[in-house]
Structure 1
Amino acid sequence: MNKIIKYIGASVVIGMMAGCTTNFDDFNTNPYQPSKVPASNLLSTMFNVYACPQQNACQEINCMWASFSGQVTATANWSFGDNIFAYYNASDKHNDSSWGRIYGYIYPSFFLIEKSTEKKGVIYAMAQLTRVYGMQMLTSLQGPIPYTQMKAGDTEAPYDKEQTVWHAMFDDLDNAITILKSAASLGVNQDLAPVDQFYKGDCKKWLKFANTLKLRMAIRISGIEPDYAQTKGQEAVLDGVLESTGDSSYDTTNSGINENGYAIISGWPEVRANACLVAYMNGYNDPRRPAYFTEQTQTAAGGYVGVRSGSADIPEPTAYANYSKLFIATDKTLPQPVMYAAEAAFLRAEGALKGWSMGGDAETFYKKGIQLSFDEFGISGVDAYLADDSSVPGNYIDNLISGHTGNNYTNQSAITIKWDESADPTEKLERILTQKWIACYPDPMNGWADFRRTGYPKIFPATKSMNSDCNTTRGQRRLRFTLSEYNNNKANVEAAVGMLSNGKDSNGTDLWWAMKEDGTY
């Protein structure tokens, strides 16, 4: 079976529609019950932060902010009152959704596992790893979060400063890695295997996954804490990160496959491919396009046409019915990707560019990342692609709906594909992050995070901002703290506002980790 069909799964949930909100308070209901549930079974709920088959939960955890990554577009006016997500002014309900789901999935099971395992063994290590995975998403979204002082049954936990959160996550991840290293030589873990839809209990692969997450985190904070980040990044590579497509992580459960929410939303049609990513790949004549998108069907000429995120005007979603869909939305039997091996290669390329010891040079890992991506999707032609020194990202022309010229956009990037060793570090960084963004589709957080900390890839802005704290040049920088926290944990969330870079709880406030080495954002 072709890998396009076998592995291009319904990733990181793409519906931008508003779903049911899980209240953060729920995590603390009966925190020690049922006491007879095996600790391994409790991981199943926690694993939903990697890949949740439930449609609304997937939207709330991963994709309400997908438009900021330039990979996915919600064609509907997803708003509550005057708040419109695509224009940098999401409603409090949107923010509550991301917060409530992540905390709700993690903490009830985490505290039960922590107690029943006495903080020992593979199941506890997996709970720690999964907690870190969820919380690195949330702190990358919002900034300060409750972490080091979280306790079972406590709904009024103090917030930690961002630096405190990141260091504590690295400590917890290191502990999980230590346990997984000991278990890796013992083969499949029989306690983990029955509930592990990703690696079937293979601790060797989970160890690579954990180290790749560690490298991702190290790169993310490398501008603000370069020495600490270098140490952590080099440790991750030394212990072993994802290397081959066989190491890539997918949700392969029947429930995860059969309950793919992409197909439902795509059919409405409220989700389409983003004009930004499609334009880049059109300009490159990228052979991966058939594995990423469907061809538009409105004109006889065919081709790939995405939808501008934050369009000049927002018609009914049916107006976009014939624009390019996400290929993963066309078959609900496809597994859902969680982490690609290609990401590890691009992370190592950026690390090498910084002078870190990554086991090779930036060019080697840049080329490896592209090669792995082509292999992942079963696409040929990688050698010609790597040798292309003339193609540049394409512009966007919205020619499928009459009068939509306000959506047209001239691409601000002219970065080519072929590695140029004589280029300056800035050009090399843009080249690495642009190809990483293409290879890791669809992965909203990494693309948006890279853009916030470096300005690359050069993501198309919305046509306008509906938030006075956000401009279209820099876009949205974070999610506001949730209304539920203001209602239920008022003193602590107000203290957290004072921890932000400008002391203002706004979507335009820069986060600690996004600061560059020169002290600018």
Structure 2
Amino acid sequence: MKKIFLILLTAATLVSCSDDLETLNVNVKDPSNVPGEALFTSAQKSLVDQMVSTNVNDNIFRLINQYWTETVYTDESNYDLVTRTIPEQHWQYLYKDVLKDLDQSAININSTPLGLTENPLDKQNKLAIIEVLNVYTYAILVETFGNVPYSQALNLNYKTPKYDDGLTIYKDLITRLNKAITNLNTGGKSFGENDRIYGGDVAKWIKFANTLKLRMGITISDIPTESALAKTTVASAAPFVFASNLDNADLKYLTATPNTNPLYIDLVASGRDDFVPTNTLVDKMNVLNDPRRAKYFDNNVDDPSTPEIEYIGGENGASNSYAQKTHIAPTIKAPDYPGTILDYAGAQFLLAEAAERSLYGTPADAATHYNAAITASILDWGGTIAEATAYLANPAVAYATATGTWKQKIGTQSWIAYYNNSFEGYSTYRRLDFPVLVAPADAVSEIPVRYTYPIIEQSLNKASYTEASTAIGGDKVETKLFWDKF
């Protein structure tokens, strides 16, 4: 009897061990087992993190666009993209941490059965919002590099994905965006608290999608063969874009790591003093007596030789003494300062462009949108209507009297307004060719108008890389992309 008991006990133990071993073989971190909503949150944060970061390993658009310059280590201010493989980081963040997570998020949400009390529109809205962010992310990749992997991207069956034509991608993205807008329905909910930008507000996502659509229509508006598409895209989006600063696409950061604004990590937690505002920007704002200076910069300079100047920018591309130059304002260094990817001021600048291009309205409408854009920017930075009114009354700012063509007026003021949204400022600068920026004396190239392709692509995906490089006119920072050639 005792022997039988031992056999049964051993058998039971083996069965138990077998169950435990099988459990160990389950990958609990497999993204297919993660709720799609959680993957969406991760992708959303990774996207905004990359776009607002100033870490020189990841994002140097603030330096290229001459908002900030460096103090001691000046390679990136002089357009060295290679040493730190900056294009590779931008590429990998957007493909791996954003697009791949969005892709898996859609798969998981699609495969999750609806509950008995769930509204089918909720799932429809979630998938449409994912698609909107897919379009935004691919648009950033195309605007950064030109031809990129698209039709074969994210598919593990393609180890060496081909690069698709940039314009072909862009036009397909507009089609996808139109469909996503159609699928967004305010009769349903969406991601709720998993949405760190709008808290699941579908109406705001509709405005975001249309503002993105307006932006994309304007981007292709200089291409002679795409004038009809540009006009229909802009005209169909314009009535439904952001209506106030309350619509701004601001990701809400928290005060505790790892959910703080990357600027806090780069500028405060790092304990480093690597950046100061450039004299390119500071001098322009000083001349215009811009009320946003107190919000952009820290008035920390006390130079007896220049008592009349409150703000002194660093020489772009040169070594700068941190102590002797104006610093970056503490406002944007706060750990929970929001990260913005699209805003109302930008939408109004785009509408001013649309008016001048006769894509929506007429040139007579441009001043109204220009004034609204500048006012929105000043208010968003904590200024007042009185400050905005006084600034717009300055003959050097007023649309009727400011120097230059409409491209110079809109280009200069949007560049100033995009101070903390450097990629948008970079895109506007490339499209309008204003303000006129001068490369530093020690720059390794002209001012980049694109990122070069990641070096790793030359070794792991050489045939596709070579074909794409040839197609765009050479893998150089000076190569103008399809939307920037005219």
TM-score band w.r.t. shorter chain: 0.7 to 0.9
Listed one character per residue, the Cα deviations across residues 164-188 of structure 1 (whole Å, up to 9, x for unaligned) are 12112212222221222xx2244xx
Q: Please give the TM-score of this superposition, normalised by the length of structure 2.
A: 0.82
Q: 1:476 aligns with which of 419, 429, 448?
A: 448
CA distance in structure 1 between the partners assigned to 2:82 and 2:177 by the alignment: 33
Q: 1:428 aligns with which of 406, 409, 414?
A: 406
Q: Who is 1:231 aligned against? A: 232
Displacement, 1:363? 0.9
Describe the shift of the 1:256–1:243 C-alpha distance in structure 2 as closer, same or farther (beyond 3 A): farther
Q: Who is 1:97 aligned against? A: 89
CA distance in structure 2 between the partners assigned to 1:39 and 1:175 by the alignment: 21
Asked if 1 retains the 8 angstrom alpha-carbon contact of 2:261 and 2:339, the reply is no
Displacement, 1:293? 0.8
Describe the shift of the 1:57–1:488 C-alpha distance in structure 2 as closer, same or farther (beyond 3 A): farther
Question: Aligned AA for 2:485?
Answer: M
Q: Tell me whether 1:64 sits opposite 2:67 in the alignment.
A: no
Question: Aligned AA for 1:121?
Answer: Q
Q: Tell me whether 1:73 sits opposite 2:69 in the alignment.
A: yes
CA distance in structure 2 between the partners assigned to 1:88 and 1:58 by the alignment: 14
CA distance in structure 2 between the partners assigned to 1:265 and 1:439 by the alignment: 26
Question: What does residue range 396-475 of structure 1 map to in structure 2 within 5 Å?
Answer: 416-420=396-400, 427-467=405-445, 470=446, 475=447
Q: 2:369 aligns with which of 341, 350, 365?
A: 365
Q: 1:323 aligns with which of 301, 320, 325?
A: 325
Q: Who is 2:461 aligned against? A: 489
Question: What does residue range 213-232 of structure 1 map to in structure 2 within 5 Å?
Answer: 213-224=212-223, 225-232=226-233
Describe the shift of the 1:513–1:54 C-alpha distance in structure 2 as closer, same or farther (beyond 3 A): closer
CA distance in structure 2 between the partners assigned to 1:185 and 1:357 by the alignment: 29
Q: Who is 1:294 aligned against? A: 298
Question: Aligned AA for 1:217?
Answer: M
Q: 2:287 aligns with which of 274, 283, 286?
A: 283
Deviates more, 1:376-385 or 1:297-306: 297-306
Q: Who is 2:253 aligned against? A: 253
Q: Who is 1:384 aligned against? A: 390
Asked if 2 retains the 8 angstrom alpha-carbon contact of 1:147 and 1:159, the reply is yes
Listed one character per residue, the Cα deviations across residues 396-433 of structure 1 (whole Å, up to 9, x for unaligned) are xxxxxxxxxxxxxxxxxxxx211218x89x61221112
Q: Who is 1:304 aligned against? A: 311
**Structure richer in helix, relative to its length:** 2
Q: Tell me whether 1:176 sits opposite 2:180 in the alignment.
A: yes
Question: Aligned AA for 2:416?
Answer: I
Describe the shift of the 1:49–1:212 C-alpha distance in structure 2 as closer, same or farther (beyond 3 A): farther
Question: Aligned AA for 2:235?
Answer: Q
Asked if 2 retains the 8 angstrom alpha-carbon contact of 1:74 and 1:270, the reply is yes
Describe the shift of the 1:460–1:49 C-alpha distance in structure 2 as closer, same or farther (beyond 3 A): farther
Please give the root-mean-square deviation of Cα atoms over the aligned residues, in Å: 2.7
Displacement, 1:210? 1.4
Listed one character per residue, the Cα deviations across residues 78-100 of structure 1 (whole Å, up to 9, x for unaligned) are 5xxxxx33223321612211111
- Name the SS of the counterpart of 1:268 in structure 2: coil
Q: Tell me whether 1:165 sits opposite 2:169 in the alignment.
A: yes
- Name the SS of the counterpart of 2:246 in structure 1: helix
Q: Who is 1:202 aligned against? A: 201
Displacement, 1:45? 2.0
Q: Which protein has the larger Cα radius of gyration, Structure 1 or Structure 2?
A: 2
CA distance in structure 2 between the partners assigned to 1:433 and 1:54 by the alignment: 21
Q: 1:107 aligns with which of 90, 99, 104?
A: 99
Asked if 1 retains the 8 angstrom alpha-carbon contact of 2:340 and 2:421, the reply is no
Q: 2:77 aligns with which of 69, 86, 92?
A: 86
CA distance in structure 2 between the partners assigned to 1:283 and 1:442 by the alignment: 20
Question: Aligned AA for 2:325?
Answer: Y
- Name the SS of the counterpart of 1:337 in structure 2: strand
Q: Tell me whether 1:513 sits opposite 2:467 in the alignment.
A: no
Question: Aligned AA for 1:379?
Answer: G
Asked if 2 retains the 8 angstrom alpha-carbon contact of 1:237 and 1:358, the reply is no
- Name the SS of the counterpart of 2:276 in structure 1: strand
CA distance in structure 2 between the partners assigned to 1:258 and 1:430 by the alignment: 32
CA distance in structure 2 between the partners assigned to 1:53 and 1:151 by the alignment: 19
CA distance in structure 1 between the partners assigned to 2:300 and 2:54 by the alignment: 29
CA distance in structure 2 between the partners assigned to 1:50 and 1:98 by the alignment: 10
Segments of structure 1 that go 5 or more residues without pairing to the other structure are: 1-29, 79-83, 390-415, 517-521
Asked if 2 retains the 8 angstrom alpha-carbon contact of 1:139 and 1:162, the reply is yes
Question: Aligned AA for 1:45?
Answer: S
Asked if 1 retains the 8 angstrom alpha-carbon contact of 2:351 and 2:366, the reply is yes
CA distance in structure 2 between the partners assigned to 1:266 and 1:297 by the alignment: 23
Describe the shift of the 1:465–1:76 C-alpha distance in structure 2 as closer, same or farther (beyond 3 A): same
Question: Aligned AA for 1:268?
Answer: R
CA distance in structure 2 between the partners assigned to 1:209 and 1:104 by the alignment: 23
CA distance in structure 2 between the partners assigned to 1:228 and 1:453 by the alignment: 17
Listed one character per residue, the Cα deviations across residues 101-139 of structure 1 (whole Å, up to 9, x for unaligned) are 111112332332332344972222222221222222222
CA distance in structure 1 between the partners assigned to 2:236 and 2:456 by the alignment: 38
CA distance in structure 2 between the partners assigned to 1:247 and 1:223 by the alignment: 28
Displacement, 1:151? 3.8
Segments of structure 2 that go 5 or more residues without pairing to the other structure are: 1-26, 112-122
- Name the SS of the counterpart of 2:371 in structure 1: helix
Question: What does residue range 328-367 of structure 1 map to in structure 2 within 5 Å?
Answer: 328-358=331-361, 361-367=365-371
